[in-house]
Amino acid sequence: MAHLIPSSFSFYDLTEEEELQGQILTVTQAHVIQNQLATCAEEKLMIKFTPESQQQFVQEDSYKQGQIDILKYILTMSETGIELRAERANNPPEDNEV
């Protein structure tokens, strides 16, 4: 069971299995995040550059890129978790490895 570790940020001590289960998204969650990713990418393309608003452009562009990066990271973590779970199912540990 997860235990909260005191720190400046909330951090949980998870078992390897809890970590794996937590990173795998449901199909619907993955679809919602993919839709958010597509929306952010479209919004990033719509940011207009003008010489008068260079700093605003850089800030908005960086903000959208950060959103895109974290959404891609979450989707990649889930895909990696699904692959790892499938690999473990296909290659269960032998009795002497447990």
| pLDDT at residue 17, rounded to an integer | 93
Helix, strand, or coil (residue 18):
helix
Residue 87 has pLDDT above 80, yes or no: yes
| pLDDT at residue 45, rounded to an integer | 97
Grade residue 90 by pLDDT with cuts at 50, 70 and 90. very high
Sorted by sequence, the CB contacts under 8 Å of residue 60 that are 6+ apart come out as 47
pLDDT digits (tens, 9 = 90+) for 27-81: 999 999 999 999 999 999 999 999 999 999 999 999 999 999 999 999 999 999 9
Residue 22 has pLDDT above 70, yes or no: yes
- Give me the phi and psi of 86, to 5 degrees please: -65, -40
Record the pTM: 0.83
Grade residue 11 by pLDDT with cuts at 50, 70 and 90. confident
Q: Write out the DSSP string of 40-83.
A: HHHHHHHPPP-GGGHHHHHHHHHHHHHHHHHHHHHHHHHHHHHH
Domains of the chain, residue spans:
54-87
